[in-house]
A and B are shown apart, each in its own frame.
Chain A
Amino acid sequence: MNKFTVSGSPHIQGDDSTKKIMYGVVIAMIPTVLFSIYFFGVDAIRVFLLAIVASLFFEWAIQKFLIKGPSTINDGSALVTAILLALNLPSNLPGWMVIIGALVAIGMAKMSFGGLGKNVFNPALVARVFLLVSFPVQMTSWPKPAPITDGLADVITGATPLGILKEGLDAGKTVSELTPELPTYTQGLMGEMGGSMGEVSALALLLGGVYMLWRKIITWHIPVSMLLTVAIFSGIFWGIDPEHHADPLFHMLTGGMLLGAIFMATDMVTSPMTKSGQLVFGFGIGLLTILIRMWGAYPEGVSFAILLMNATVPLINKGFKPRRFGIN
């Protein structure tokens, strides 16, 4: 007699998979990775490789010896975390700090919660903030981009545009006095400014974002609501007093704004599950970012804002449900 498989419906499956999603994110990050290598040279390659090798190793080792489950290093999620971590670091960070970052991201922020899909906070951001508070000097001396086409020169470090702005404003200067020290919009778009490896080129980040939208890996809700909130709030202050507040476009192009909006806040695992919830989440991140940038001690607030909002996700999920059919 023939033996047939018996299982519940449905009997067919779409061709989407966790792996495809993760490697889709990796593909989306390629332009940004290439730009950072262009600007920071061999140092950038060093940080990428270290972050990737260390992250994959920690993922493998923890899964094998602590969780004792099947290997998960092929699912692509550790690779995504590794690249995101590297994009959040300065290219001249000592190697052992990169490795500590990988351990914090994979070990503390991800695997200690149970692994893929179970973490509350974005692993790469946890590592970034961990490194920032542990090694404030190394994490805030940003190399100035020196295109590899210019030949090998000594690395010059300096503050990020946001740092220059904050320090200047705190010292009583006005925006127009500071403008010569700040990058132009074109420089911001292309990435010719100080910052972490992934924070430099707005263009490359946008390219990745468009790709992920096209592949339906992310939806527009989080990035748009986050950036719109930033634009509106920074716009209001800029409109009132343009001499003491940067304009919205400056906020968009500098710091971790686009990296955060496109790659970090949209992390599926740590963002809300309904579109209405995602709009609220984006709004919260935008608002917190502006609050920190304008009145906080740090010049940059995107990472803190995202992590803070990560913590509210369960609450948002409870409060913002999808519209049910037949309920008016």
Chain B
Amino acid sequence: MGILRTFALGGIHPVENKLSANAPIETVPVPKQAIVPLGQNLGAPSKPIVAKGDMVKVGQLLAEAGGFISANIHSPVSGKVLKIDNAIDGTGYKRPAIFINVEGDEWDESIDTSADIVSEITLSSKEIIDKIKDAGIVGMGGATFPTHVKLMPPPGKTAEYLIINGVECEPYLTADHRLMLEKGQEIIIGTKLMMKALNVKKAFIGIENNKPDAINHIRELVKAHDDIEVQVLKVQYPQGGEKQLIKASVNREVPSGKLPIEVGCVVQNVGTAFAVYEAVQKNKPLIERVVTVTGKAVKRPSNLLARIGTPIAALIEMAEGLPENTGKIIGGGPMMGKAIISLEVTVVKGSSGILMMKKEESSRIVEGSCIRCSKCTYVCPMGLEPHLLSKAAKLGNYEMAEDEAIMDCMECGSCHYACPASIPLLDYLRLGKLKVGQIIRNRNNK
């Protein structure tokens, strides 16, 4: 096998803690009430088209895309629309959501609910993209960028490679791993569909070396396809970052401030590939997803297929309850996930995991003095100097922060992870990015 592929700069190797790697995907029962947030994707929130009292079926359109970068939302359950009101979401804010009281489990007739795998691709490129757009599919890795937008390169740009992201470099998370093991065939068909949509001749599936079973399984499945190749990647965080994965796969660097299409690449998560398969071949919109429920004190770390809108409390129940000494709940992985403030938060399209941290793991180590050890600089995958950027942000010197390329920061958290003085570098960088982003927007509007 030789030297494993990896990205060029920086990176860290946190303890993997893939506690749920051997837990097969189980289905969470349909909840009594589903709370479906309207802002589930990157970009504009969706606009509701149902009203209080409407009866809905599973798969029926609830809300339309609210702009070019936005996505449709379909009903994950059948029942009666109770209200459209604010609910706490994964960001901790109260935001509009559609509340549905569940009655039975009646699916829209157009959805193929059989277990048959449909492998024949009959639709044209445009028809595939339209289906994906209609189904409300967004990036399932957590970034939730609307998938159909990525599949329509802007004029003048063409895609050369499709890269399927099966890296799952976040510690603890295993949803993509299990999906590759259990839905490999569907993922390959989803990949084929996106290749046709993009009109590309070659696709790579990138998987980290810590998932040998998934590597072997997917390798076996792509034997029949000359145009799809599995790439084994070194275990190194953030290997699954879009730009890092492109660098590792095809040795191209996305220029600063540009999108992957600039170097002829489109990256999609394995979960997205699976959702594309279901949408195009089975006519099933995005109404459920696999979520890893895990943590060191969790009795039964699990991978759960849950309907969108299911309260996370129900998922935690399936993993045999909230551990006694839980101090923090994270939506997503420990490196980039967001701390959740309430168990009432519901599963959304971007929910990759629910991680329960023990009390002693939950608080930060007290910040010390910077000893200028440069570890933050050594680990930064974007080649930035976090110590400098954090100081610039702290002092309000946003001009310097912009000059030092703060907007290149992908918020992977490697700097804070590596800092021996436990300085919350990323907190300061986020603040700096927010301010510099505003300054840039104001300048462009003038």
Contacts and interface: CB of A to CB of B under 8 A. Distances in A.
B413 interface: yes
Interface string B385-425: 10100000000000000000100100101101111111010
Nearest to B363: A5
A271 B374 CA distance: 10
Contacts, number: 157
Given A14-B418, A17-B420, A269 B339 contact: no
B385 A322 contact: yes
Interface residues of A, number: 37
Nearest to B337: A9
Contacts of A325: 8-9, 243, 247, 253, 256, 381-383, 408
Contacts of B387: 273
Most buried by B among A10, A20, A115, A116: A10
Contacts of B340: 4
Interface residues of B, number: 70
B243 A10 contact: no
A202 B405 CA distance: 44
Interface of A: 1-2, 4-14, 16-18, 20-21, 75, 77, 115-118, 268-269, 271, 273-274, 321-328
A323 B371 contact: no
A9 B8 CA distance: 23
A18 B335 contact: no
A212 to B, nearest CB: 12
B377 interface: yes
Most buried by A among B334, B372, B413, B422: B372
Given A9-B413, A11-B339, A324-B383, A268 B92 contact: no
A4 B328 contact: yes
B439 interface: no
What DSSP secondary structure best describes chain B's contact surface?
A: loop
A273 B408 contact: no
A80 to B, nearest CB: 11
A5 B335 contact: no
14 contacts: A4-B341, A8-B427, A9-B336, A10-B334, A11-B357, A13-B417, A16-B420, A20-B420, A117-B371, A274-B377, A323-B9, A324-B384, A326-B243, A327-B256
B381 A9 contact: no
Given A2-B322, A13-B417, A324 B370 contact: no
Nearest to A269: B372
A208 to B, nearest CB: 18
B368 A75 contact: yes
Contacts of A118: 369
B283 to A, nearest CB: 37
B373 interface: yes
B255 interface: yes
Given A268-B373, A273-B387, A322-B385, A5 B243 contact: no
Interface string B348-371: 000000010100011111001111
Nearest to B8: A325
B255 A326 contact: yes
B334 to A, nearest CB: 4
Contacts of B414: 10
Contacts of A117: 369-372, 421
A11 B408 contact: no
Interface string B39-66: 0000000000000000000000000000
B430 interface: yes
B437 interface: no
Contact of B256 (A4, A268, A273, A324): A324
B275 interface: no
Contacts of B361: 11-12
